[in-house]
Amino acid sequence: MESETSSGRVLQSVQRAFDLLERIATHPEGARLSELADGAGLNRSTAHNLLASLEGLGYITQDKKGAAYRLTGKLNRLLRLDAEAEHALRARIRPVLKNVSQASGESTFLAFATGTDYLCVDAVQSDQPLHLAVRPGERKSLIGEALGHALLAADADLAHLVRAEDPDRWERHAQEIADAKHHGFALDLDSQQAGISCVAVAVTPRAAIAVAGPTSRLPESRLITIGQKIREALDKVRPANQEWL
């Protein structure tokens, strides 16, 4: 069934699905089937089918069958940060990049999650003759990279999406992602690029900082120390009593 709007026709099923999404969005702790169906004026069967479709697409989730529905982070990942928010975050993090790069002597960079990849948006290059050159605009897969693993460890919804899209590759790196969640930083010990090692720390579920350079200068013990220093530096500039974004 279709209805008319000022801009054309609207499919009733699409309209109802978005109505349910909007209702769930007003309940941060989640909303149950009966509440959603009654609020939207739908019978339980119709509401359940629509919710099952939204859940299958990854936009909503339940902790268990019969529990309340809540939004996942998928809608947020469809959009990059707006220009003002991105500029504010980059400005706040820029001194951290400089300080960490100076203290470690290695290249340091900031990246945002974009779908199942990450995008480098800012970098401070090492001034040592032999160093890893990282350029803003570079894009890499979240799976298989320390920075991606830090982001996956920080965002359960993103991890669920990435795992569903590439389960085999996920399994090959599952332990690294689990370690990142446990320790608060992710390590790449000369495994993705010969002669290069890296440590990464999530700033938010959508942004992370990484330090990378020659493995000869970055043994595991030093990477761990740098990871701890990054977390300390972030704590000093973290907005008081509010989110980063």
| Residues 94-124: tens digit of each pLDDT | 999 999 999 999 999 999 998 888 989 999 9
Q: What is the pTM of this model?
A: 0.68
Characterize the bridge pairing of strands 139-141 and 186-188.
unpaired
> Measured over all CA atoms, what is the biggest interatomic distance in the chain, rounded to whole angstroms?
68
Task: Determine the pLDDT at residue 205.
Answer: 87
How far apart, in whole angstroms, are the C-alpha atoms of residue 185 and residue 113? 16
| Residues 32-83: tens digit of each pLDDT | 999 999 989 999 999 999 999 999 888 889 988 889 998 887 776 665 556 6
Q: Is the pLDDT of residue 7 over 50?
A: no
The torsion angle over the Cα atoms of residues 144, 181, 114 and 133, rounded to 10 degrees, is -50
Task: Determine the pLDDT at residue 86.
Answer: 77
Q: Is the pLDDT of residue 183 over 50?
A: yes
* Average of per-residue pLDDT across 26-37: 88
Q: Tokens for 130?
A: 């032999």
Domains in the chain and their CATH numbers?
A: 2-72 (1.10.10.10), 83-237 (3.30.450.40)
Per-residue HEC secondary structure of 168-229 comes to HHHHHHHHHHHHHHHHCCEEECCCCCCCEEEEEEEEECCEEEEEEEEHHHCCHHHHHHHHHH
Task: Determine the pLDDT at residue 80.
Answer: 53
Mean pLDDT of the chain: 86
Task: Determine the pLDDT at residue 64.
Answer: 86
Task: Determine the pLDDT at residue 6.
Answer: 44
Task: Determine the pLDDT at residue 193.
Answer: 77
Contact 150, 193 (CB under 8 A): no
Q: Is the pLDDT of residue 239 over 90?
A: no
| Residues 121-175: tens digit of each pLDDT | 999 999 888 888 888 888 899 999 999 999 999 998 889 888 888 899 999 999 9
Contact 210, 146 (CB under 8 A): yes
Task: Determine the pLDDT at residue 36.
Answer: 92
Task: Determine the pLDDT at residue 187.
Answer: 95
